[in-house]
Every structure is written in structure tokens, then in C-alpha cells.
Chains A and B, each alone.
Chain A
Amino acid sequence: MEFGKLCRVAAAALALAACEAPGSRDNADAGKSPIANPFPSTYKPYPSETLLIANATVLDGAGARIENGAVLIEGGKIKAVGADLTAPDGAVTLDARGKWVTPGIIDNHSHLGAYPSPGVDSHDDGNEISGPVTAEVWVEHSVWPQDPGFTRALAGGITSLQILPGSANLFGGRGVTLKNVPARTVQAMKFPGAPYTLKMACGENPKRVYGYGQGSAPGGAPYSRMGNVAGYRDAWIQAADYRKQMDKAESGGGDPPKRDLELETLADVLSGDILVHMHCYRADEMAQILDISNEFGYKVAAFHHAVESYKIADKLADYGVCSSMWADWWGFKMEAYDGIPENIPLVHNAGACAIVHSDSDVGIQRLNQEAAKAWADGKRIGIDIPIEIAWQWLSLNPAKSLGVDAQTGSLEPGKMADIVVWSGNPFSSYAKAEKVYVDGALMFDRNDPANQPVMDFELGHPGEGDRK
């Protein structure tokens, strides 16, 4: 993602936005044109200390492992990472002997807030299944920030996450990237400057929901996988036309087209401003989607679920698309039948981008263990990946897929201090996230109830959080 492109849209719209590089002020969304960005992020990092986390095993998330290492946080940012760091005057030192320190985990496939707990019908806001093309909806308008699931995910070391609409539709709508900090509004969770994403879906879901929907077949299009593909292409043809009109208007060649929420989103995909995240299980379908993306000139950022990525890992590497995968889910539907536990290491081994995702309010609480299972299963077949490399599946690669890797995803100077201190090697059932920092602020401490958020919904109920 080129950050400049987001600016281009804003500047063209009202010619006022002063475009700056991400991270150059508290909130990259501030001051954006309300037309280009009508729901700007109001997220502000919470207060943090100058903190030296010392004597830990540090995985920097970019591929390095530092024994007896340290991470220095200043002003909410990573200041330094290394073996021989000394605390500056006034800094607090956390002795993390025996602990492991990693970048915060980024889950690029969550429905928290949109399918919140409790999962009652009134909360069924995750999918606008009213039609096969609903590119006009934005999932942030369904996100209930009081979902207790956010707090459980935080306790599992999740510092950022992408919320996606569901996968009934060919085009499901816009996704949104959040910082995992409890807030009164979703705007106060939005990752400043993160590009928007578009959820699309392959395969069984669209044809099941629309083709044989409501108990009568045929219910409507698409009824088949070929109907799916025709549906994508029809929409892209309209979007290309709309894009052309917008571009013409921007270069002074006439009035902009009438506003159309659906086509605005699709047109911004074609200009590269919105990233495509596509639910797709089968290898053969993924290959067809790549061809469609070439036909219309956009790029797929990540295939989600991607249980058959191992069958075309070479092609995925050539194209440069990420696969966002479970460690071991399989068999629950036909297109998940060929899922294998070695999918993630096989994709990685082919030089393609591998990501561990959850799609679950349970799985999101321990993505480190999901990565560990895949890592160990790879090792057993001779794919021996160092843990410090495998950690890229959890932070840097998802950050890349969301276009936020310049700001977070690894412990490198200047990046957001999104950090987890683990009780031990996080590739284990037994390790626990003890401290979770978001932009340097301590947002979760396993040993301090004062630093354990409890959502409104849970107050006054017998549970009141996870471990009352």
C-alpha cells in the first residue's frame, strides 16, 4: 500500500488535506476530508512511560532473536532493540528475566464486534446478506465496541486486528483495521491511517446463500461457481467505468459521477487505495481469482482460510499474495475437506507470505499456539523454521496484508510500541501473555486486575470478565 494514494483521494476531493507520512502526528486520520474519510479515527495512544524491558528473549518480529535482549520504549514508540541497552535517565526498567518479548499479534481475520458475545439474533450484524454484491456496506458500522471478545483477545496478545464482514456475498463490504484498545466508539479504535480493505468471497458460501437461498432453488444468482465469477467480473466492469469517470473529473475533465457507495469502494480498489481480502478455500479458485485481478488491474492482498494454499504455494509466491490460514481446521464443509496441518509451513517454505488468522473469538485468544502447532507440524516433515522467522506469520505478515507494516508488526525503531511480554516461550500451551502494550501503554497485565478491562455488558453479571 502506498500511503500517498490515500492522500491523493483526500486532496483531490477538497484540496485541503496536508498529507504527511504515517506516524508523524498522533492521528493520521485527523484533518481528512469528511467525504474521503467520513468516519475518521479518533484513536489516541494512552499515556506510556519510557520503559526498558530487559533481560528477555526478544523476537523482533523481523526475523531476529536476541537472547538476554532488551526493548526500549519512548513516547509510545520503539526506541531501540538490542542486547546491550541501558535505561536512559528517568526510564522505568522491567526485569523480564525468563520471559519472552514479541511484537503484538495482529489477527487479520476477526468478526469481533460484528458478531459479538453474546451471540444473540439482535447481535447478528456481521454480514449484509441481502444481496451478492454489498460493496457499499462498511463493517465498522456493525462493530459494537463493547464486545467482551476484544478483552479476551487482548489477554491473548492481540494488539491490532482486522474486522471483516461475513462471507455470504461475492463482495461483502469494507473491512476495518482496529487497535485492540477498549473504547466507547469504534472510531476510537480505528488504526490511524490504515487503508480500508474489501472483503470478497469465493466458492460455496455465495452460491449456497443466493443460489439455493431461502429454501428454494434457484433462488437467484449466483447459483454456481461460474456464476460467482460472472458476478465478480460484472461488478469490476462497472467499477472500471466509474473509476474512469472519477479520474477524468479529477484531472479537470468534467463533473464527477453521481455518488454511489458500492462503486466508490470498488473504484478505490482499482486505484490501489483499498486492499482486497478474499475468503477462498480451494486452490483452483484462488488461481482463477488471480487471473481476474490481472484482468481488471487490482491486486489481492490476502486469501483467507486458504486451506488448499499448499497445493499452489508456488503460484501464490509468484504473484505475491498472502495466505491467511488456520493451523488445523478442516472437514466442516466440502471446500475445507483437503485442509492439512502442514498448510502454513508448506506455504512459508515455498517462499509465499503465510499468516495465522483466527476467524474465531476463541482462536484469537491464542494465535501464538496456532502458529506453534503449524511450526511443529512443519518441523516433523523436515521444514525447520526458526521461531523468530515463524513469528512473522503472527505480526509482520498480517501487518503487510493490511498495509500497516510501516507502523507496526515488528520491534523496529520508530514503530508503534505494540508489544507482548510472555511468561515463557510463546510456542507452547503453557505460555501466557503477561503484559500487553499498545503504543507503549500497558493495556493488559495478567497479574494486576486494575489492568484487565471489563466491558459494560459484563458488569454486574456473575462473570464480570474472564477470571473474577
Chain B
Amino acid sequence: MIRHLLISLAAVAASPFAFAQPVAVYGETVWTGTSQGTISDGLVVIENGRIVSVGPASTRVPAGATEVRAQWVTPGLISAFSRTGLTEVSGVDDANDTGAASSAFSAALNAADGFNPDTTSIPVTRLDGFTRIAVAPQAQSKLFGGQGFLADTSGLTGSVFRERAFAYVVLGESGAQLAGGSRPAAWAALRGAFDDVRFFAARYMSHNEGNVLTRMDALALMPAVKGDQLILFQASRASDLDAIMDFKEQNPALRLAVVGADEGWRVAPRLAELEIPVILDAFSNLPSSFSQLASTSENAKRLAEAGVTVAIVNLDNDSHLARLATQIAGNAVANGMDFDEAMRALTTAPAEIFGMTGLGVLAPGARADVVAWDGDPLDVTSAPSAVFIDGEAQPMESRQTKLRDRYRTIDESQKPMAYKR
């Protein structure tokens, strides 16, 4: 945590705009994510990379502040699970660092090593209001996918602000396949790996192989096993979720969250009691596999109502369209989820799951990740008009907007299209 803070401060200090002039962001509706709730005709003041005040439009504005006016103002949204920045084109192997099916290693794979802040999907994600992303590797060689990280979406060098933020482990059907063909094989591998870590010194004294993990993998998994690091378990079936909760009860120190959880609503009270958060795709409402037979478009609503911390993500094309989590959250509202809960699923819930202090809220002292919108952020017709990361106004441009602007009017009467920039 101390290391994290130091890295964060270093990133802020390195930013050339961190100490730019103050900004006053006025919103007809200001959603704060705090006990201040939703403010009509509100104002958020940004200074030196921090939010200095959140209140009515009459709040004092520092001299020389730039004014931004919008329909809605929200905290910078947080994508709780994606592969953004790990691949430029998913189908092009050379340009895809999400997973490594032939690697000798698994838990030791550090996704941050594959992160490229120049990936064109990063501005695309930012332009839809996401200022922070939690990025996970894909598990392809073993059920241990490796180490995920947290980054901002500035696209600048140093935008990863926490490497090894979580360990990613796949259970359920996919875990079964990765472990050799069955759920028992997956659980044997998981327990064996924990055993390797717990007896690390003895087991790896004279050789490199444990029962399940190589020395490097065991070393990488150690913080998770000790409870110092979050583990994201991917699973969908209710019985798989129950097995994860049994495991948690046997290992109370573990810090867990679940990704997927299509049948989560069926075990919601227990998830709430054990304080296991869920990261889900609220579009999932089909029996797409035998692990998702109870999928429902009301999963998010039912989990939230049971008191489970819910983050909403897009698990479909999670590298290039993580930004669709706003539409998915809007649909969760259409299917009964409380609007504030759906907003929290994109802000405070992921901040809480990943321990992102000072993010996901509009509050005095918080980091100034602020988004100004031309409408309700969860409605498909809305989009941000301005995005701030650590107080800095972000360019509202991407490779997509450049292509759009080139072809907005087709005219080759004087020169080919290639000359238009």
C-alpha cells in the first residue's frame, strides 16, 4: 500500500499538467457516489489534480478557473475487468498479449509486462468516461492466469499505477478444461498450488517444480495465498460459487472476488455474508453453457438487493469494448437494479474491490478523475463531453475519431483521401 501511494504520487508529480489552472465543472445533475448523493445544479472544483469541493453551483470558484458545463457530472468510471491495453487487434497473434497457451509459466505471468499505453482502445475507452481500468491476463496454459494490474486511461507512460494488483484464477468449465478435463482436476490443482506456496521453502529447496507450480509461479502466487493480494476467481455455476465460498471459509484470510457469477443470484445471501464482491456482465441472460442455466437479466439487481457488492463489466470483447459497461449498467437498471447501485457498479464498487483510494467518487480530497456528460451516463444516447484524469483535461480524440473525420465527407476531386488529416 505504501508502495502504491509512492507510485501514485510519483505519477502525479511527473504529469506536466498536474498543477494547471483550476477547473469548475458545472452539472445539471452531479452524481457524487458519496453521502452527498445526487446534486441538482451542482459544481465540482478541481485544483492541483484533486477535487477541492463538491456542492451547489453557488460554491466558491477559485480565480482563473476554466469553466466546463454539462448535463451530468460523474466520477471517472472504473472498468473492473478487461483486457484493454493488452492487444491492439485481438485476432492478430503478434499483436495480442492477453494470454500465453504455450508458456511454461502461469501464476507468474505479469499482465503489466504486456501493457502498451499506446493501444488505440485506450482512448476509445477513455472517450466513454472510463478513467481507470483493472486489466486481467487470460488463463490459457493453466487455471492460474497470472497477475492483473490497475492503470489509468491517459495513454501516457507510467499509466499503470499498480502492478500485481490481483491474481486471476479460472474455475468452472474453463478451469476444468485447463486443469485436464474436470472440476475435480481444477480443485486438485488449486489446492495443490496453495500447498506448494505454503511449503515453498521445503518444496523448492533443491528443485524448480512443486506439485502444481513452478518455483516462479509459486513465488508469484504467495501474496494471494497469504491474503495480502486479491484473488479474482472466474466462475458462473451456483455450485462453483458455493465451492469457492467453502474454500473461503476454510481459508478465512483470503481476499476474494468473483468474475462472471451468472448464477450468483442463487447464492446471493451467502456471497453477501462472506463479503465476496461480484464482477458481472448484466447482459448474460442465456443458458449459454451448462454452467449458466440460471442466467437472468435480473442477476445484478438480485445480487445488489441481497447486499452483495456488484461491479458491472462487458465480458464480451473485453479488450476493445470495455466501454459498453455503461450500456450494460443501464440495462441492469431497466431490469430492476437501483440506478445508484448501477452507478456504483461502475465507480465505488470497483474502487472498493481493488482498493483504489480516492477514486470512483466526487469528494473533496479525491483524485480529480471527473467526467462531464451530455446526458445520463447509463443511457445509450449519452457520451462524455470532457474527461479529466488527475485533474488533467484529456484529449477527446482517438484513431476512430480520426477515421471518422477523414471520411465525414468523401471528396477526391482534388486529392486522394489519404491527404486528409
The residues of A with any CB-CB pair to B shorter than 8 Å are 117-120, 148-149, 152, 204, 310-311, 313-314, 328-334, 336-342, 346, 350, 360-362, 365-366, 369, 372-373, 375-377, 380-381, 427-432, 457-458, 461-463, 466-468
Do A380 and B289 form a contact, CB below 8 Å, given A332-B90, A340-B403, A431-B334? no
CB within 8 Å of A: which of B245-268? 263, 266
Q: Is residue B207 contacting chain A, with contact meaning CB distance below 8 A? A: no
A429 adjacent to B330 (CB under 8 Å): yes
Provide the bound-state CA to CA distance between A350 and B409, in Å: 9
Least CB separation from A360: chain B residue: B316
Q: Which of B143-151, B191-199, B221-229, B290-298 contacts A (4 or more CB under 8 A)?
A: B290-298
Least CB separation from A315: chain B residue: B410
A-chain residues with CB within 8 Å of residue B304 when the two chains form the complex: none
Do A429 and B378 form a contact, CB below 8 Å, given A334-B91, A462-B266? yes
Provide the bound-state CA to CA distance between A337 and B124, in Å: 13
B86 to chain A, nearest CB (A): 12
B-chain residues with CB within 8 Å of residue A362 when the two chains form the complex: 283-284, 286, 316
- List 9 A-B pairs, Cβ < 8 Å: A120-B290, A330-B320, A330-B400, A331-B89, A332-B89, A342-B404, A346-B407, A350-B410, A461-B287
B287 adjacent to A117 (CB under 8 Å): yes
Do A457 and B287 form a contact, CB below 8 Å, given A329-B321, A376-B383, A429-B379? yes
A376 adjacent to B380 (CB under 8 Å): yes
Minimum-distance CB pairs A-B, first 4 = A429-B330, A333-B91, A331-B320, A376-B381
A369 adjacent to B410 (CB under 8 Å): no
Q: Is residue B21 contacting chain A, with contact meaning CB distance below 8 A? A: no
B381 adjacent to A372 (CB under 8 Å): yes
CB within 8 Å of A: which of B81-105? 88-92
B-chain residues with CB within 8 Å of residue A462 when the two chains form the complex: 238, 263, 266, 293-294
A241 to chain B, nearest CB (A): 37
Do A333 and B89 form a contact, CB below 8 Å, given A310-B407, A346-B408? yes
A149 to chain B, nearest CB (A): 6
B293 adjacent to A119 (CB under 8 Å): no
A-chain residues with CB within 8 Å of residue B408 when the two chains form the complex: 346, 381
Provide the bound-state CA to CA distance between A377 and B41, in Å: 26
Provide the bound-state CA to CA distance between A338 and B398, in Å: 12
Least CB separation from B238: chain A residue: A462
A334 to chain B, nearest CB (A): 6
Q: Is residue B331 contacting chain A, with contact meaning CB distance below 8 A? A: yes
A466 adjacent to B297 (CB under 8 Å): yes
B296 adjacent to A432 (CB under 8 Å): no
Q: Say which residue of B121, B294, B330 sits within 8 Å of A463 (CB atoms).
A: B294
A-chain residues with CB within 8 Å of residue B410 when the two chains form the complex: 311, 313-314, 350
Provide the bound-state CA to CA distance between A76 and B311, in Å: 45
A341 adjacent to B400 (CB under 8 Å): yes
Provide the bound-state CA to CA distance between A112 and B38, in Å: 42
Provide the bound-state CA to CA distance between A350 and B320, in Å: 27
A467 adjacent to B296 (CB under 8 Å): yes
Provide the bound-state CA to CA distance between A341 and B417, in Å: 20
Q: Is residue B382 contacting chain A, with contact meaning CB distance below 8 A? A: yes
Q: Is residue B15 contacting chain A, with contact meaning CB distance below 8 A? A: no
Render B279-311 as a binary contact track against A, CB cut-off 8 A, 1 for contact.
000011111111011111110000000000000
The residues of B with any CB-CB pair to A shorter than 8 Å are 88-92, 120-121, 238, 263, 266, 283-290, 292-298, 316-317, 319-321, 324, 327, 330-331, 333-335, 374, 378-383, 400-401, 403-404, 407-408, 410, 417
Provide the bound-state CA to CA distance between A329 and B90, in Å: 12
Provide the bound-state CA to CA distance between A381 and B381, in Å: 13
Do A118 and B320 form a contact, CB below 8 Å, given A333-B89, A430-B379? no
Do A337 and B331 form a contact, CB below 8 Å, given A120-B289, A328-B321, A375-B381? no
Provide the bound-state CA to CA distance between A313 and B404, in Å: 13
Provide the bound-state CA to CA distance between A212 and B383, in Å: 42
B-chain residues with CB within 8 Å of residue A466 when the two chains form the complex: 285, 296-298
Provide the bound-state CA to CA distance between A340 and B399, in Å: 9
Least CB separation from B405: chain A residue: A381
B291 to chain A, nearest CB (A): 9
A-chain residues with CB within 8 Å of residue B293 when the two chains form the complex: 118, 458, 461-463
B327 adjacent to A118 (CB under 8 Å): no
- Further 7 A-B residue pairs, CB within 8 A, beyond A118-B290, A337-B89, A461-B294: A149-B286, A329-B317, A362-B284, A366-B331, A430-B333, A463-B293, A466-B297
B288 adjacent to A467 (CB under 8 Å): no
B35 to chain A, nearest CB (A): 26
Least CB separation from B378: chain A residue: A429
Provide the bound-state CA to CA distance between A373 and B379, in Å: 9
Provide the bound-state CA to CA distance between A119 and B320, in Å: 23
A-chain residues with CB within 8 Å of residue B284 when the two chains form the complex: 362
A430 adjacent to B334 (CB under 8 Å): yes
A331 adjacent to B286 (CB under 8 Å): no
A-chain residues with CB within 8 Å of residue B319 when the two chains form the complex: 331-332
Count chain A CB atoms within 10 A of each CB in B121, B285, B292 and give the residue with the most.
Answer: B285
Provide the bound-state CA to CA distance between A314 and B238, in Å: 52
A458 adjacent to B331 (CB under 8 Å): no
A-chain residues with CB within 8 Å of residue B400 when the two chains form the complex: 330, 339-341
B89 adjacent to A429 (CB under 8 Å): no
B-chain residues with CB within 8 Å of residue A314 when the two chains form the complex: 410
Least CB separation from A370: chain B residue: B380
Provide the bound-state CA to CA distance between A468 and B287, in Å: 13
Count chain A CB atoms within 10 A of each CB in B121, B290, B295, B400 and give the residue with the most.
Answer: B400
Provide the bound-state CA to CA distance between A403 and B243, in Å: 53
Count chain B CB atoms within 10 A of each CB in A120, A149, A310 and give the residue with the most.
Answer: A310
A427 adjacent to B334 (CB under 8 Å): no
B214 to chain A, nearest CB (A): 27
B-chain residues with CB within 8 Å of residue A149 when the two chains form the complex: 286
A-chain residues with CB within 8 Å of residue B238 when the two chains form the complex: 462
B-chain residues with CB within 8 Å of residue A468 when the two chains form the complex: 296
Provide the bound-state CA to CA distance between A360 and B321, in Å: 15
A333 adjacent to B92 (CB under 8 Å): yes
B286 adjacent to A361 (CB under 8 Å): yes
B-chain residues with CB within 8 Å of residue A119 when the two chains form the complex: 288-289
Provide the bound-state CA to CA distance between A283 and B283, in Å: 31
B320 adjacent to A467 (CB under 8 Å): no
A152 adjacent to B285 (CB under 8 Å): yes
A334 adjacent to B92 (CB under 8 Å): yes
A-chain residues with CB within 8 Å of residue B383 when the two chains form the complex: 376-377, 380
B333 adjacent to A429 (CB under 8 Å): yes
Least CB separation from B400: chain A residue: A340
B-chain residues with CB within 8 Å of residue A431 when the two chains form the complex: 334
A-chain residues with CB within 8 Å of residue B330 when the two chains form the complex: 429-430
Count chain B CB atoms within 10 A of each CB in A118, A331, A338 and give the residue with the most.
Answer: A331
A-chain residues with CB within 8 Å of residue B89 when the two chains form the complex: 331-334, 337
A432 adjacent to B334 (CB under 8 Å): yes
Provide the bound-state CA to CA distance between A414 and B152, in Å: 56
B296 adjacent to A372 (CB under 8 Å): no
Provide the bound-state CA to CA distance between A132 and B344, in Å: 49
A-chain residues with CB within 8 Å of residue B404 when the two chains form the complex: 310, 340-342, 346, 381
